[in-house]
Structure formats: structure tokens, C-alpha cells
């Protein structure tokens, strides 16, 4: 089933989000510890407290949301002709940035009975840091604050530039730079903050898969700008790994998505290390592994291209009814790691930030403890 995706920043909350980001508040992350087991084990149920004890951070963060999809059976271990994954970076520990909505909630709600579960299973795990506002004046310093902290702790940060013009096709997450010329300048300033240590860059979720709303001329111009962005990011920091938007396994077929990715520069070693999937859905890891491998095969390019998969909310797969807005019954997926043991799969990452609402369980983009607890327990 095909399904569109969108990143969650409701129009009514954009002002608060941008203010938070201007203060250096990007989004949610977690500590560099990576679990050794592939899935989280269940913990005892904790009574849900009254609304008087529930507190959410007032600053929404611009993490991408889910889109509709079909539920799938539990995945079997994926197989390939080669069982050797691509070479690992020198450091295999992901960095957990210390500034996030979930950490704010944990610090402010020490006596909340949900806190131990939320803290150990979400707040203590590494997740992406999003940069979703167009503020050329401070973007370099804000990116540098994350990358330099990661380097100092020997961890690999995951950063998400999310400011391409006409993002989300004018939907709930509309915004970004005023035009592609401005975006090109913003990306240069973003790249200047990457430093010289290892960093993973998730380049513009939905910008390629969700481009059908653009005219052919607009699409070509966006893809040219994304290809340029990849080159600028990798030239600024040769240790940066840059991944391009592949949507997810219930969106475009692999051949179609590969054609779009190729136009956007994802097959060039000068701009790309590969592709990412599932930021905008709940699809099971096995389905995404199969999908990104087929997409990479269709994409071509140098043999070193790999893929990362967002496993932040896919522990139970996608809901059968295709619900995308904070659907019930979802669970955290595989813990973030740069060591997958899977050929061509470079990482399982938490790009979408678990517990930040798409708008049904709480204010869009804002950490919602009830939702987080349901995902984590």
C-alpha cells in the first residue's frame, strides 16, 4: 500500500519550536550507551498517574512523523549473498546529546511512576538532533555545539538538516528556507559546524520521496540543490556520512525511488554515503532491510553505499488500519546502533523522536509522557 509521509510541526506550534531552536534546543537524543540485545524486553506495567503529575516540555521539536502503512508479520532474519557489513567507522558509539524534551521531562518529574521506564528506554538512548528552522545567523554555532560535544565524548552524533523550501508540500510541517538559493547558503553554514570527527547526517527527510507535489522544474531544482548539499557537507567534513531520503517500503517502489535518488545525487560518492528509510513510518525492520537493499541495487553507484533504518517506533510494525497519528499499540524498535551485522545496513537509528506527538496524543512536536510510556513499556 502506498502512503504519503509528513514531518510533524503543526502550523500553530511553529513559533514556539523556532524559538526553542534559536536557543540551541534542537530535539531529542539519548546517551551513547547502545544495548546489546536487538529488541527491548518488557518491563512491569506502571500505573498511569493523574494529569496533575503529567508534564510535557512546552517546546515542540521538529522530528518527522509517521504515515499510513499496513501491519506486517514479524520479520525473519534478512539474508544476502554476503553477510559482511560495510566497514565500520572507527568509533561505533552513538552520542546522546544532553539537551532534549524527554530529558527535560525526566528531570522535572522525578516522582512520576512512569519516569523509570521513560528514562531507561528513551531518555538514555541516542537519537537524532533536528535543525528545522531557517536561521543562518546561528546555525553554524548550534551544529558545532552538538558535533563538538560528541567528539569530546568519543561518540558519533546524528544530525538532521530540515529546511529545504516547500518541505512537506505545504502540509503540517510546511516551512524551510525561502528559496533554494537561501537554502544553499544555509547548508554551507550548517556544514561549517560539522567539525572534523565522525558524524551521521540525515539529509532532509521526505524531500525526495515526497516531491510529487512539485512541478518537474521545481523537482529538478530541488534535486540539484540536494546533490549540492551532499557535496558541501562531505567536503566540509570528509568523515561525515550523508544519507538521502528513500521514503519507506510502503511508499514508492524501489525502482522509482532509486530514480529519484539518482537525480538528487545519492549515487555519487562525492555527495552520498547511501540512503535512509522509515523516518515517516512504523514498518518492521526486516521489511525495510529488504526494501533498502532493492533500492540500493537499483540506484547503482559505488559499492560502498549503504543504508540506515529508523527503528524508533517499529517494534510492533505499522498498524493494520494505516493510522499514522500516534497510533495505539506501537512499541520502541531495535536500539540505536552502528553495528547491525547486516550487509549494506550501516545503522539502526532513532531519527523520529519517540514520545513526541504527531498531534493526536498531544501538541504536535511536543514530548507527551503518556505516549512515550506506551511506546516504552
99 is catalytic: no
Catalytic residue among 133, 206, 273, 287: 206
What number of residues does the chain have? 377
| CB contact set of 228 (below 8 Å; sequence gap of 6+) | 184, 187, 265, 271
| Residue 72 burial class via C-beta count within 10 angstroms: exposed 0-12, middle 13-18, buried 19 and up | middle
| CB contact set of 350 (below 8 Å; sequence gap of 6+) | 30, 125, 126, 127, 128, 310, 311, 312, 336
The β-bridge relationship of strands 129-131 and 345-349 is unpaired
β-bridge partners, 7: 64
Could you tell me if 245 and 204 are in contact, meaning their C-beta atoms sit under 8 angstroms apart? yes
358 is catalytic: yes
* Helix (H) or strand (E) run with residue 347 in it: strand 345-349
Specify the DSSP class assigned to residue 121. I
287 is catalytic: no
List, in sequence order, the alpha helices (H) in the chain. Answer: 14-22, 101-108, 115-118, 139-152, 180-191, 216-236, 254-263, 285-299, 369-376
Catalytic residue among 99, 104, 168, 326: 168
Phi, psi of 149 (to 5 degrees): -65, -40
Catalytic positions, please?
168, 206, 358
Amino acid at each position: 500500500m502506498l502512503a504519503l509521509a509528513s514531518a510533524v510541526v503543526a502550523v500553530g506550534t511553529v513559533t514556539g519550536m523556532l524559538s526553542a531552536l534559536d536557543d540551541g534546543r534542537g530535539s531529542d537524543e539519548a546517551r551513547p550507551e547502545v544495548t546489546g540485545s536487538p529488541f527491548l524486553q518488557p518491563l512491569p506495567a506502571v500505573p498511569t498517574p493523574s494529569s496533575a503529575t503529567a508534564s510535557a516540555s512546552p517546546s515542540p521539536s521538529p522530528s518527522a512523523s509517521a504515515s499510513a502503512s499496513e501491519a506486517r508479520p514479524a520479520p525473519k532474519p534478512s539474508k544476502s549473498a554476503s553477510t559482511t557489513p560495510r566497514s565500520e567507522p572507527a568509533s561505533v558509539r552513538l552520542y546522546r546529546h544532553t539537551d532534549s524534551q524527554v530529558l527535560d521531562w525526566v528531570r522535572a518529574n522525578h516522582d512520576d511512576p512512569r519516569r523509570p521506564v521513560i528514562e531507561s528506554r528513551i531518555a538514555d538512548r541516542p537519537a537524532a538532533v533536528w535543525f528545522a528552522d531557517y536561521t543562518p545567523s546561528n546555525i553554524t554555532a548550534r551544529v558545532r555545539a552538538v558535533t563538538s560535544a560528541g567528539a569530546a565524548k568519543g561518540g558519533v552524533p546524528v544530525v538532521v538538516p530540515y529546511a529545504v523550501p516547500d518541505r512537506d508540500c505545504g502540509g503540517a510541517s510546511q516551512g524551510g528556507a525561502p528559496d533554494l538559493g537561501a537554502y544553499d547558503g544555509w547548508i554551507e553554514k550548517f556544514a561549517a559546524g560539522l567539525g572534523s570527527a565522525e558524524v551521521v547526517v540525515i539529509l532532509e527527510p521526505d524531500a525526495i520521496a515526497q516531491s510529487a507535489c512539485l512541478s518537474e522544474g521545481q523537482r529538478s531544482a530541488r534535486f540539484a540543490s540536494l546533490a549540492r548539499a551532499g557535496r558541501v557537507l562531505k567536503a566540509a567534513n570528509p568523515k561525515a556520512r550523508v544519507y538521502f531520503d528513500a521514503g519507506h517500503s510502503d511508499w514508492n517502489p524501489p525502482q522509482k525511488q532509486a530514480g529519484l535518488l539518482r537525480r538528487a545525487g545519492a549515487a555519487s560518492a562525492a555527495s552520498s554515503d547511501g540512503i535512509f528509510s522509515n523516518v515517516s513510518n512504523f514498518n518492521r525492520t526486516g521489511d525495510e532491510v529488504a526494501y533498502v537493499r532493492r533500492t540500493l541495487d537499483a540506484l547503482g553507484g559505488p559499492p560502498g553505499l549503504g543504508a540506515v533504518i529508523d527503528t524508533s517506533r517499529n517494534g510492533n510494525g505499522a498498524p493494520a488500519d494505516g493510522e499514522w497519528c500516534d497510533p495505539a499499540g506501537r512499541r520502541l524498535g531495535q536500539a540505536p546502533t552502528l553495528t547491525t551485522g547486516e550487509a549494506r545496513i550501516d545503522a539502526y537509528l532513532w531519527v523520529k523522536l519517540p514520545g513526541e506527538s504527531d498531534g493526536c496524543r498531544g501538541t504536535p512536536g511536543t514530548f507527551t509522557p503518556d505516549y512515550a510510556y506506551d511506546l516504552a513499556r
